[in-house]
Amino acid sequence: MPERTDAPMQWGSPGFNAIEAVMWKAESDPALSSTIMAVEELDQAPDWDRFFTAHDWGSRMVPRFRQRVVDGPLGYPAWVDDRDFSLEHHVFRSAMPGASWQDVLDRAATVAQSSFDPSRPPWEALLLTGLQGGRAAYVLKMHHATLDGAAGVQLFAGLHSRQREHSADKPQPAPPEPRRPAVLRSAVRRELALAGKGVGLLRSTGSVALRPARTARYLASLRRVLGPVSASPSPELANRSGTWRFVALDVPLPGLSAAAKQAGASLNDAYLAAVSGAFARYHEAVGSPVDELPLSIPISIRRPEETSGGNRFAAARLSAPTGIADPTERMLAIRSVVRSIRDEPAIEALDGLSPALARLPTPVLARAVRQMTSTSDVQASNIPGIRDAEVFVAGAQVLRLYGFGPLPGVAAMIVLMSHGATCCVTINHDAAAIAEPDTFRRCLVEAFDEILALAPTGSRTTLRD
């Protein structure tokens, strides 16, 4: 837990890094929206005044929440203070009497697809009350250019309380004074830094060129990292409507960990094996079985000491072995592939190319990003959640934390985020890509239960509806 201090959290990188700039600019194509969502289930409705005040406190603890985006020099986006910042434009509430959890997810999906106001900081918070059992839901909508999954956990860990009662000793930084934008100065510093990196890259390239064997290994790795995978996109998942659909599962963390250990694999291997199994079952159910499916996963390149938020990941693609029926064999096959990907010398190549991509004209950039993302049917991410089992928002306990990613041209985005003893698994899928959603949900539950059955814990998957 961060040390208590009157100073704001050191969270939120000082400016856009290259991959964040790519995500921001690529949204000129509506299919490449980079909105991300956190949906928390609360055990009760928090007091509204305390909830609202908590967001004022949070926006002082994290100044990024009081900043908006402008087009900087050379078409590169930049963060500037919003001189007209007001919480009334960002924090809302709505009653949903008797609503089910799927009703909440449907509402969240609708909120996710509404555009941010470009004149304001790109985030919104929505409190939904009156749910079944007297519960409530907290929906936080942000732009992916602000943070990745790991940074989101850093943010929630720093802002959530560890007690239900009001904490009188929590830090109380003063509201930040809006500063005059220094976009040009920041742009000059960024270009000088990139020029320095370029000189360093040229030096290292020259050094590598003197070692032909090393150069050949790197170039071979580069072809594997950036080249196509063996699996072709599935015709069954090819349609796109642009409409998002949210689904959530609860998978017992001890059971999934035990199943992975039983197979001699990791939790991530077990998770990806379940995802592959779900799509295998779905294709079989609709009469179009596939042996492989192109799948993308993020590889975190964040160091343990990096706590400043932002995006720090490399993208990797693989052919998911949907044709392997045995769950243990499937898990081990995935383990082998993912290990080899992590060991690729060129794994961060796309991160290295991002500065050049970010400087392309926006329409050209959007076409390039769409071409890259369209080669995968599914993206899957595994995010270690908040370690503390009990966290609170304005007096209400967080029972579950579900993270939903965007659909950058793919049929489905699947995210696992651990929370206490539960793996909160979410699926955001295009409504047209999954033509039989009820069948797909059944296949998801069956695939995770198949993995859980490898260890005799009696664990079962719960579809949150």
Question: Which of 136-140, 215-219, 227-231, 338-342 comes out lowest in average pLDDT?
Answer: 215-219
- Single-letter amino acid code for the residue at 343: D
Nearest CA to 412 out of 390, 443, 388, 367 is that of: 443
Question: Which of 35-39, 173-177, 335-339, 433-437 comes out lowest in average pLDDT?
Answer: 173-177
Q: What pLDDT was estimated at residue 202?
A: 47
Question: Which of 287-301, 406-420, 442-456 comes out lowest in average pLDDT?
Answer: 287-301
pLDDT tens string 76-132: 888 899 999 999 999 999 999 999 999 999 999 999 999 999 999 999 999 999 999
Q: What pLDDT was estimated at residue 28?
A: 85
Q: What is the 3-state secondary structure (H, E, C) of 205-231?
A: HHHHHCCHHHHHHHHHHHHHHHCCCCC
User: Using a CB cutoff of 8 Å and minimum separation of 24, what contacts does 395-398 make?
Assistant: 395/44, 395/46, 395/47, 395/50, 395/164, 395/165, 395/166, 396/42, 396/43, 396/44, 396/45, 396/46, 396/136, 396/138, 396/164, 397/42, 397/43, 397/44, 397/164, 398/40, 398/41, 398/42, 398/138, 398/160
3-state secondary structure at position 298: strand
Q: Are 353 and 11 in contact (CB under 8 A)?
A: no
Q: What is the CA radius of gyration of the chain?
A: 22
pLDDT tens string 380-398: 999 888 876 689 999 999 9
Q: Provide, rounded to the nearest whole percent, the portion of the chain with pLDDT above 70.
A: 82
Q: How far is CA 9 from CA 65, 259, 315, 327, 395, in A?
A: 12, 38, 28, 44, 22
Indicate which residues carry an active-site annotation: 144
pLDDT tens string 179-194: 665 555 555 555 555 5
Q: What pLDDT was estimated at residue 386?
A: 82
Domains of the chain by start residue, with CATH: 18-186 (3.30.559.10), 192-222 (no CATH), 229-379+413-463 (3.30.559)
At residue 169, does pLDDT exceed 80? no
- Single-letter amino acid code for the residue at 454: L
Q: What pLDDT was estimated at residue 406?
A: 93
Per the model's pLDDT, the better-predicted residue between 455 and 172 turns out to be 455
At residue 301, does pLDDT exceed 90? no
Tokens of 426: 């979410």
